[in-house]
Amino acid sequence: MRLLVTGGCGFIGSNFVRFVLEHYQPEFVTNVDALTYAGNPENLAGIAEKYAGRYEFHRADIADAAAMDAILSKHKYFAIVNFAAETHVDRSIDSPENFVHTNVVGTQVLLDLARKHGVKRFVQISTDEVYGSLGETGRFSETSPIDPSSPYSASKAGADMLALAAFKTFGQEVVITRCSNNYGPYQFPEKLIPLMITRALRDQKLPVYGDGLNVRDWIHVEDHCRAVTAAMLEGKPGEVYNVGADSEMRNIDVVKLILETLGKPDSLIEYVADRPGHDRRYAIDSLKIRAELDWKPIHRAQDGIRETIQWYVANRAWWEPILARG
């Protein structure tokens, strides 16, 4: 069985490639990544050698139909797993057109080519951000209204709608996963947890938006990869599966956990002006995937975040060159 993984040099995609190759022999993986700023070949250092004959890489933009058609012509694929996306909310506010190009146009190109080449499954990796913001209570379920707040989440919502339309119109075996905030190894250091870790390690100020009381539901990237695999293999076509670990934490508490673990003072915290459209709270109801696909998270957030901190401490050679490039 061969998988086409798009965005496989990014944070979640590279962890998924590692997970599949390690746990699901003899699966073959074709990794396609445009290697934009967050796509880092070092995320998969040694993989081609370790899994020789089971892994290949192509540099391409998923919105380039000709390039993707050529790649899909080389093998018979069981599934496309689409991690490729522009994901940073702040960047989407500055340059929304990049998010439409990759997240919307790129997804449509992949859906069209999957049908053309007889790809059995299409797994669209989405986000809980498509649901917008919650109040102090409640959780997002798969039937919650779509109400995106940023160009990023709007582009992901658009991609989801295209995927579901492909199921309804063409009978394409599409499955969508919507996951809460991920953490773990190889996350680009613009996101909250790696940003705070790397700045604290250099005794720099830690910028916290607004009052720091925004709440996120945190999940270890390995738990997410296990959920995606379950959805790919066992998910019902045309269905959406929410993926969460029941691990809500306020942003300021995450930051203070990082400082405590590193033995750094709270005086490094610097509150800054909130960003536009900043959702107050996310929380995921993942009962559906737990019941239907027998999935559950195995990492506790506080323990997993501490393990992640130690990974960044031990892997300065990975993140310092990224920061040096600006």
Active site residues: 128-129, 152
Q: How many CB atoms lie within 10 A of CB 220?
A: 25
- In the sheet that holds 215-220, the strands lie side by side as 181-183, 215-220, 248-250
Q: Give CA–CA dist 181/248, Å, rounded.
A: 10
Contacts of 302 by beta carbon, 8 Å cutoff, 6+ apart: 257
Side-chain-side CA neighbours of 7 within 13 Å: the count stands at 24
Please state the φ and ψ torsions of residue 296, each to the nearest 5 degrees. Answer: -155, 150
Side-chain-side CA neighbours of 106 within 13 Å: the count stands at 27
Q: Give CA–CA dist 145/44, Å, rounded.
A: 37
Contact 105, 34 (CB under 8 A): no
Please state the φ and ψ torsions of residue 151, each to the nearest 5 degrees. Answer: -55, -35
